[in-house]
A and B are shown apart, each in its own frame.
Chain A
Amino acid sequence: MEGTHKISHPQFVREGKQFSFSAATMLKVRQLIARYPQGRQKSALLPVLHIAQEESGGSLTVDIMDYVADLLGLQPIEVYETATFYSMFYLEKTGKYVIEVCRTGPCSIVGGDQIRQYLREVLEIGPGETTPDGLFTLREVECLGSCGTGPVMQVNTRFFENLTPRRVDQILEELREYANKNNPDDIRWQDQFC
């Protein structure tokens, strides 16, 4: 419930699976590291964690973080402490589509509260939960920098603005269709509007 102080302690997941980047990704990672001065490869941590999360299908397990630590020559704890600070790194398994709906004031006063409520109802889950079919994770997040076009939500990295319940229905429908095609390239369905 809103307002109660439920502190959520991330449960680190250890799947025991070997994780490693493909050769193509490794090239990308090397280029990223080269953007920072010699010996400052830790600067590449956030960008590399983004890539790792994307490649692993949406969340960071301990195995992945250990792999990244190794790759960047860091202590594992350095990766854990950074990864746990940022809201975009998911330490628990997520659905195929992560819906992040804005809950902050400016969206709230133009119908955002109703949209959040609507999403909970149609998905039949609460914030932080994933639908049983593994398709959707619902998260309620702070201001997405899109307050003039609120209510707003992001699905994976794509923005959806000026939401109404009808529009939400359409988007969910579209996503379900996408998922049904079962095309592996669609796993991290990306933005196409820019």
Chain B
Amino acid sequence: MAGSVLLTNIEVPGIRDFAVYRAHGGYQAVEKALRSMTPSDVSAEVTRSGLRGRGGAGFPTGLKWSFLDKRSDKPRYLVCNADESEPGTFKDRYLMQHLPHRLIEGLIISAYALGAGTCYIYIRGEFKYLVGILEKAINETHRNGFLGSDILGSGFSLNIFVHPGAGAYICGEETALLESLEGKRGNPRIKPPFPAFRGLYGCPTVVNNVETLAAVGPIISMGGDAYARIGKGRSTGTKLISACGNINKPGVYEIEMGLPVEEFIYGDRYCGGIRNGKYLKAVIPGGSSVPILPADLILSTAKGEPRLMTYESLAEGDFATGSMLGSGGFIVFDEDACIVRNTWNLTRFYRHESCGQCSPCREGTAWMEKILYRIEHGGGTLKDIDLLVRIARNIEGNTICPLGDAAAWPVASAIRHFRQEFEEHVTDPGKCRNQRTN
């Protein structure tokens, strides 16, 4: 089952072309939905499938769709979040590059379910080469009658447009994305109101991740119940995991949820073990924003059970001993990696990407970066370590958008699990081979 829901037929030569995709069963899900199902039937299937948002938060997609303001007579929008900028995450790019029609098929069915007549794919500006691929696929789909007005004689009309960003991680946050799509700075909005009520141009809007929307086609084809039987518990279906770092086989893998983490890291079908026969030191399992876990805690939970690739298992033990599945950006560190250096590096990322609207995030990330720089370069004190913990705690939960939390968690978790390494960088600078002491 693994590897055969979202990425089915990815190996077929020419699958990027409409004709080839169609010849391999493509757009049959659209036909099924538009010819034999009402929009609420489609939503009900998605709810039954148990599909959860693949952008990071794991919020149930069916439930999110049900919030869409039904009393409003304004136009509705579907926005596909293809901003993919979370360090360690490169799965949406892979999907769009190789299987653009899987996404477009999902967009058509989702927009039908939501009653949206326009869909924008907001793609990060750096992926400019994908814009051509997506637009070509959209045009082909249009020519073949699956987009435009009165699709398949159903009375449903849809246009899809690709909209490039211009370099800003924060525009992946859904309300910043909407601001950016309106031509403004990517400053997240205060919620509520949520996009379901006041989204793009103040109209009811659903924002979903690329992978989430791409899963809708297969769900309609196989039925929500069948999809829900894949995976484990409330983590239904398959998930794309982008694996990187010190492993033998970095890349994008479609796994059935529930796969043991150990098998994912060491199995030949997946990461193939740690590079150069080194030891596993730590993993950030869900993109740079989620807590880092040391080897023992990523392989098994604090209770001693094998850790599984599910939303629940990766979060088992909460932040004391657990982490999150997040976006599926799986970053592996071997024994030589320096946790202090990496924490400083990631904090610099968040400082750079903070939009600057809230003081705890704007000032806190800059302050943490400065302290981490000091520690990494041999000028830190033991008090600095506690200060970092305090700053992180004061950022968390006190900001407009979750970027503040995303900046606080990596620091707090690195100190929680690797405090000794931070202390050594203070007391014995130069011991760490990676440490810079200039």
Chain A residues engaging chain B, CB cutoff 8 angstroms = 2-3, 5, 35, 37, 40, 42-47, 49-50, 78, 81-82, 85-89, 103-106, 108-110, 141-150, 154, 157-159, 191, 193-194
- B403 lies within 8 A of chain A by Cβ: no
- B244 lies within 8 A of chain A by Cβ: yes
Please state if B90 and A148 are interface contacts (CB–CB under 8 Å): yes
On whether A46 and B180 interact (CB within 8 A), knowing A85-B168, A147-B242, the answer reads yes
Bound Cα distance from A3 to B168, whole angstroms: 20
- B360 lies within 8 A of chain A by Cβ: no
Please state if B246 and A86 are interface contacts (CB–CB under 8 Å): no
On whether A109 and B333 interact (CB within 8 A), knowing A3-B373, A86-B168, A88-B167, the answer reads yes
Q: Which residue of B lies closest to A88 (CB)?
A: B167
- Contact with A191, one of B86, B129, B165 (Cβ below 8 angstroms): B129
Please state if B166 and A42 are interface contacts (CB–CB under 8 Å): no
CB distance from B176 to the nearest CB of A (A): 10
Please state if B85 and A145 are interface contacts (CB–CB under 8 Å): yes
Please state if A46 and B349 are interface contacts (CB–CB under 8 Å): no
On whether A43 and B370 interact (CB within 8 A), knowing A88-B166, A146-B90, A148-B251, the answer reads no
Q: Which residue of A lies closest to B373 (CB)?
A: A3
User: Inside 8 A of B130's CB, which chain A residues have their CB?
Assistant: 194
CB distance from B351 to the nearest CB of A (A): 9
B115-130 interface with A by 8 A CB criterion: 124-130
Please state if B342 and A145 are interface contacts (CB–CB under 8 Å): no
Please state if A5 and B370 are interface contacts (CB–CB under 8 Å): yes
Please state if A37 and B201 are interface contacts (CB–CB under 8 Å): yes
Please state if A3 and B370 are interface contacts (CB–CB under 8 Å): yes
* 20 A–B contacts, CB within 8 A, in A order: A3-B376, A46-B165, A47-B163, A78-B183, A82-B185, A86-B125, A87-B167, A103-B348, A105-B288, A105-B342, A106-B288, A109-B342, A110-B245, A144-B126, A145-B89, A147-B245, A148-B242, A157-B126, A194-B132, A194-B133
Bound Cα distance from A116 to B81, whole angstroms: 30
Bound Cα distance from A67 to B94, whole angstroms: 37
User: Inside 8 A of B45's CB, which chain A residues have their CB?
Assistant: none
- B164 lies within 8 A of chain A by Cβ: yes
Please state if B166 and A89 are interface contacts (CB–CB under 8 Å): yes
B371-391 interface with A by 8 A CB criterion: 373, 376-377
Q: Mark B95-132, 1 if CB is under 8 A from A, else 0.
A: 00100000000000000000000000000111111101
User: Inside 8 A of A109's CB, which chain B residues have their CB?
Assistant: 245-246, 333, 337, 342
Please state if B346 and A105 are interface contacts (CB–CB under 8 Å): yes
User: Inside 8 A of A40's CB, which chain B residues have their CB?
Assistant: 182, 201
On whether A2 and B373 interact (CB within 8 A), knowing A85-B186, A88-B126, A145-B89, the answer reads yes
CB distance from B285 to the nearest CB of A (A): 13
- B369 lies within 8 A of chain A by Cβ: yes
- Contact with A142, one of B87, B127, B250, B369 (Cβ below 8 angstroms): B87
On whether A87 and B245 interact (CB within 8 A), knowing A42-B183, A105-B346, A147-B88, the answer reads no
Bound Cα distance from A141 to B125, whole angstroms: 13
Q: Which residue of A lies closest to B353 (CB)?
A: A142
Please state if A105 and B129 are interface contacts (CB–CB under 8 Å): no
Bound Cα distance from A50 to B127, whole angstroms: 13
Please state if A46 and B87 are interface contacts (CB–CB under 8 Å): no
Bound Cα distance from A9 to B304, whole angstroms: 52
- B243 lies within 8 A of chain A by Cβ: yes
Please state if A154 and B126 are interface contacts (CB–CB under 8 Å): yes
Q: Which residue of B lies closest to A53 (CB)?
A: B166
User: Inside 8 A of B89's CB, which chain A residues have their CB?
Assistant: 145, 147
> Given contacts A50-B166, A85-B186, A142-B352, could you give 14 more A-B pairs where the C-beta distance is less than 8 Å?
A2-B373, A3-B348, A5-B366, A35-B163, A37-B201, A106-B87, A106-B331, A142-B87, A147-B331, A157-B128, A157-B129, A193-B129, A194-B97, A194-B132
